[in-house]
Amino acid sequence: TPDLCHAHPGLFQMMFKAECHFTNGTEKVRFMDRYFYNRVEFVRFDSDVGEFVGYTALGEKWARYWNSNPDIMENERTAVDMYCRHNYEGFTPFLVDR
């Protein structure tokens, strides 16, 4: 991936957040893989869009890099089934009873 430290020298905080959004059970599922730098979201994969989108200059650079990598894109595009639906089916019995 593009070098984050060279883009912004000094202290920084980076985090990512994978989210699954469900509508009517698993009828409509949306997966988002969001990346933050110093609390600002700079790049995101949204399954409804089908690719990474950058929200800053650095995010656009990362998005271009990841969108050009077939293995990364395959993992992101299959996350709705492999991550979201799989976990929904595994956790639903525990959540519904509570």
**pLDDT tens digit string along 21-46?**
888 877 788 999 999 998 999 999 99
75 three-class SS: helix
Q: Fill in the amino acid letter for 51.
A: E
Contact call for residues 66 and 72 (beta carbons, < 8 A): yes
Exposure on the CB side of residue 66, measured as CA atoms within 13 A: 23
pTM for this structure? 0.74
Question: Could you tell me the CA-to-CA distances from 5 to 10, 35, 37, 65 in Å, in that order?
Answer: 8, 15, 11, 17
Enumerate the domain spans of the chain.
Answer: 14-96
- The correct answer on CATH 3.10.320.10 for the domain covering 14-96 is yes
Structure tokens at 41: 């979201």
pLDDT (tens digit per residue) in 7-20: 556 667 889 999 98
Angle between helices 57-67 and 70-77 (to 10 degrees): 90
**Average pLDDT over every residue of 70-92:** 82
